[in-house]
């Protein structure tokens, strides 16, 4: 599927600058939350003593799935495995580019088996699989903007994984250091609004980064949307965009307005139950490139 232009009728010239026509619709991998629950605590959002509602999680996830399909995205599914309640957060399953899948190697033992599970899927679906040596949590921490991979560290992915990315993909890799434990993956504090890149192509939460990383973000993205604390705290930045349509947490109201002002089309989805595991829209979405 080819999306003709990026929001042609409501973009200002400035916002339209990085647009290349003929963009292909995203192809993504998702995992139904059939076994979702919160049975351990590996981030500050998780409270294992509080009961979860798996059927609600499934209904909310289904809404995200339908939203993607409605936008023309190609959605692939990986089978959920019992005993891996966080497998729904597909973004952590690896990082793909140029038909190569760099596998995840999880920080915490509870998620360890997800690495091989996703790795097997990549291998069975035409990807060349590059087995990770370093601890890394895939697209949770690695985000492609234009031709540059922005790579998070500080909580989950090791610095050494950034070197691995460099040697596997032969792209520029820019390290960003996270400092707030609530925003433990890059995709909780940084959103790619236009995969083609450009000065206004991302949104981020400044307080989630150390000073050196902030300086990089300001230089590379002088016209970025700066998220409010309130929107970041509902994981509003944990969003997914095709360059025009941005699927976000429905509770991130300021973010939605800012997106509209800049010519994007926000689509709100309520993933409140999955937020209890510390994840949102982007966490449930792994891009297949």
* CB of residue 106 to ligand ARG, shortest distance in Å: 8
* CB of residue 246 to ligand ARG, shortest distance in Å: 17
Active-site hit among 35, 162, 185, 267: 185
162 is catalytic: no
Which residue, 155 or 221, has its beta carbon nearer to ligand ARG? 155
Burial of 155 (0-12, 13-18, 19+ CB in 10 A): buried
Binding residues for ligand ARG, rule: CB under 6 A, are: 42-43, 46, 86, 89, 91-92, 111, 140, 185, 187-188, 277-279, 283
Which residue, 88 or 168, has its beta carbon nearer to ligand ARG? 88
Which residue, 46 or 58, has its beta carbon nearer to ligand ARG? 46
Torsion sign across C-alpha atoms 215, 220, 222, 225: negative
* CB of residue 156 to ligand ARG, shortest distance in Å: 7
31 is catalytic: no
Which residue, 19 or 207, has its beta carbon nearer to ligand ARG? 207
User: Is 73 in a helix, a strand, or coil?
Assistant: coil
Instruction: State the Cα angle at 182 between 151 and 283, rounded to 5°.
Output: 55
- Given a contact cutoff of 8 angstroms between Cβ atoms, the answer to whether 195 and 241 are in contact is yes
Q: Please give the DSSP secondary-structure letter assigned to residue 243.
A: S
Please spell the DSSP secondary structure of 176-194, one letter per residue. EEB--TTS-SGGGTEEES-
So which residues are the catalytic ones? 185, 283
């Amino acid at each position: 599927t080819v999306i003709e232009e990026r929001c042609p009728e409501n973009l200002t010239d400035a916002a339209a600058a990085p647009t290349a026509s003929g963009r292909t619709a995203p192809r993504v991998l998702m995992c139904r939350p059939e076994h979702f629950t919160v049975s351990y605590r590996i981030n500050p959002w998780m409270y294992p003593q509080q009961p979860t509602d798996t059927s609600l999680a499934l209904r909310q996830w289904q809404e995200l799935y339908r939203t993607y399909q409605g936008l023309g995205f190609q959605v692939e599914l990986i089978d959920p495995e019992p005993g891996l309640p966080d497998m729904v957060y597909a973004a952590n399953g690896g990082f793909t580019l140029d038909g190569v899948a760099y596998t995840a190697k999880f920080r915490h033992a509870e998620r360890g088996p997800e690495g091989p599970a996703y790795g097997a899927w990549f291998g069975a679906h035409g990807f060349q699989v590059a087995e990770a040596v370093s601890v890394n949590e895939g697209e949770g921490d690695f985000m492609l903007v234009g031709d540059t991979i922005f790579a998070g560290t500080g909580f989950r992915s090791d610095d050494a994984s950034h070197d691995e990315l460099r040697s596997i993909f032969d792209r520029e890799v820019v390290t960003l250091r996270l400092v707030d434990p609530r925003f433990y993956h890059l995709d909780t504090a940084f959103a790619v609004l236009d995969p083609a890149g450009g000065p206004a192509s991302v949104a981020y939460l400044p307080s989630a980064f150390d000073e050196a990383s902030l300086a990089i973000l300001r230089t590379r993205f002088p016209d970025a949307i700066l998220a409010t604390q309130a929107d970041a705290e509902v994981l509003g930045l944990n969003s997914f965009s095709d360059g025009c349509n941005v699927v976000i947490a429905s509770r991130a109201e300021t973010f939605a307005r800012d997106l509209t002002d800049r010519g994007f089309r926000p689509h709100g989805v309520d993933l409140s139950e999955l937020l209890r595991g510390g994840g949102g829209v982007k966490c449930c979405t792994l891009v297949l490139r």
